[in-house]
């Protein structure tokens, strides 16, 4: 089997890249280890930046997002028993939309199916070959097993969008690969709650007991998180204990309280910052979580994947339409400008809002002073808002 671009992974990066290439007349095949049902039902957060929303709309993928997503023109920072608003639209002219990642994936899969795109689920034993541009080498290829048979996909380029544990990053030449990582000594305990929203916008709370986040999934389902030990057990947290902890961290002195409801899902997620560079080797390119991970505090994960795809799409279009490879050659350099900016913002938000094991009482008061600054200084609030909505030029 032959195609122009072989894409490993049917997450947001792989599916969006395939669709954008299709709109430009470039063929692709997407290979995914999981089933369609699995990728469409894995619930993950989804805060979409203005640029992500614009790209989805321009690609004809935004109808359901506009109908069902919640547009937010700000969010709130809670600390010292009070809530203060960061007015995103007023400060930047842009907004964000809360629309879960698995809903974006549903839209992307539907678009690829409607366009008769080559999308293969349940693929196993994937290996990448001949992508190193060595003299005399044949075309790059991907070998895999699907529905009991072995296959080989020949292509011009291989794009690894298969996440942090996928085969693509592991195939990068070790001699040139450099990994940068920060593992945080805490995790997030997440719950899904059957209840009306506690607030109209997201709430990020800093408390001496630890961080908390109040978010929403729909008018009847809310997503809430609180900082915990990553080695903790879900079974150790009864519903009553969870609500007691969230009330202690988020309720304000004026009598406002979060809204309780039936908890129907609990999980614990670890936290880390990670960048692998370069993001390309010969005809192999990495995008999304295959190349970088950010803690979710800055709401950048899916948006960074979309940013990578935007850069790759333009580079591949220039190659096929003009025979120009300069944008492909500069892919790592171009993408990493945005990646490191988002990594810093996510680290900064995490450091400002979480209880750190090595934080002294002095440093705890510095956290509060910093929150006072970003919520009372228009310049500081604007810098935060620009990073949050993704309007900082890179």
Measuring CA to CA, how many Å separate 252 from each of 40, 149, 230, 255, 316? 37, 60, 27, 6, 51
Tokens of 242: 């969870």
Query: In this structure, what are the phi and psi dihedrals at residue 85, rounded to the nearest 5 degrees?
Result: -95, 140
- Is 388 in the active site? yes
Which residue, among 79, 360, 293, has the nearest Cα to 207 in the 3D structure?
79
Residue 136, Cα to own-chain centre: how many angstroms?
Answer: 39
Of 292, 300, 331, 354, catalytic: 300
Which residue, among 392, 303, 299, has the nearest Cα to 350 in the 3D structure?
299
Q: What angle do CA 105, 166, 192 make, to 5 degrees?
A: 45
DSSP 278-332: -SEETTEEE-GGGTEE--GGG--HHHHHHHHHHHHHHHHHHHHHH---HHHHTHH
- Is 296 in the active site? yes
Of 99, 144, 184, 204, catalytic: 204
Of 197, 278, 295, 296, catalytic: 296
What is the Cα–Cα distance from 346 to 388, expressed in whole angstroms?
A: 9
What is the Cα–Cα distance from 247 to 135, expressed in whole angstroms?
A: 64
Cβ neighbours around 105 below 10 Å, total: 24
What is the Cα–Cα distance from 374 to 228, expressed in whole angstroms?
A: 25
Which residues does 196 contact at the CB level (< 8 Å), separation at least 6?
A: 219, 220, 222, 259, 261
Which residues does 39 contact at the CB level (< 8 Å), separation at least 6?
A: 10, 11, 32, 102, 105, 109, 121
What is the Cα–Cα distance from 57 to 45, expressed in whole angstroms?
A: 20
Cβ neighbours around 55 below 10 Å, total: 20
What is the Cα–Cα distance from 114 to 299, expressed in whole angstroms?
A: 30
- Is 99 in the active site? no
Which residues does 300 contact at the CB level (< 8 Å), separation at least 6?
A: 294, 342, 345, 346, 390
Of 72, 207, 283, 292, catalytic: 72
- Is 72 in the active site? yes
- Is 180 in the active site? no
Active site residues: 72, 204, 296, 300, 388
């Amino acid at each position: 089997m032959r195609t122009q671009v072989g894409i490993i992974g049917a997450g947001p990066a792989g599916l969006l890249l395939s669709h954008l290439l299709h709109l430009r007349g470039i063929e692709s095949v997407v290979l995914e280890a999981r089933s369609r049902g699995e990728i469409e039902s894995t619930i993950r957060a989804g805060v979409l930046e203005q640029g992500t929303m614009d790209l989805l709309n321009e690609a004809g993928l935004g109808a359901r997002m506009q109908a069902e997503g919640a547009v937010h023109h700000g969010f709130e920072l809670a600390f010292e028993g009070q809530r203060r608003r960061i007015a995103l639209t007023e400060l930047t002219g842009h907004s964000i939309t809360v629309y879960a990642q698995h809903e974006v994936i549903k839209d992307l899969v539907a678009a690829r199916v409607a366009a008769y795109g080559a999308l293969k689920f349940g693929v196993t034993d994937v290996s990448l070959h001949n992508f190193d541009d060595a003299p005399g080498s044949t075309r790059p290829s991907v070998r895999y097993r699907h529905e009991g048979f072995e296959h080989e996909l020949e292509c011009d380029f291989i794009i690894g969008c298969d996440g942090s544990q996928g085969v693509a990053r592991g195939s990068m030449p070790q001699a040139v690969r450099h990994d940068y990582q920060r593992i945080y000594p805490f995790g997030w305990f997440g719950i899904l709650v059957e209840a009306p929203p506690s607030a109209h916008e997201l709430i990020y709370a800093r408390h001496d007991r630890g961080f908390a986040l109040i978010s929403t999934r729909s008018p009847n389902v809310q997503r809430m998180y609180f900082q915990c030990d990553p080695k903790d057990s879900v079974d150790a947290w009864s519903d009553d204990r969870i609500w007691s902890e969230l009330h202690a961290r988020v309720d304000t002195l004026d009598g406002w309280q979060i809204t309780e409801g039936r908890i129907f899902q609990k999980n614990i997620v670890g936290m880390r910052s990670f960048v692998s560079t370069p993001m390309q080797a010969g005809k192999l390119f990495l995008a999304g979580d295959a190349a970088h991970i950010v803690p979710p505090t800055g709401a950048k994960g899916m948006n960074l994947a979309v940013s990578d795809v935007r850069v790759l799409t333009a580079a591949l279009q220039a190659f096929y339409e003009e025979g120009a490879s300069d944008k492909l050659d500069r892919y790592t350099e171009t993408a990493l400008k945005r990646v490191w900016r988002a990594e810093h913002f996510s680290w900064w938000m995490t450091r400002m809002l979480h209880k750190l094991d090595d934080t002294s009482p002095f440093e705890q008061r510095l956290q509060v002073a910093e929150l006072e600054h970003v919520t009372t200084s228009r310049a500081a609030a604007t810098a935060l808002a620009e990073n949050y909505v993704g309007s900082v030029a890179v």
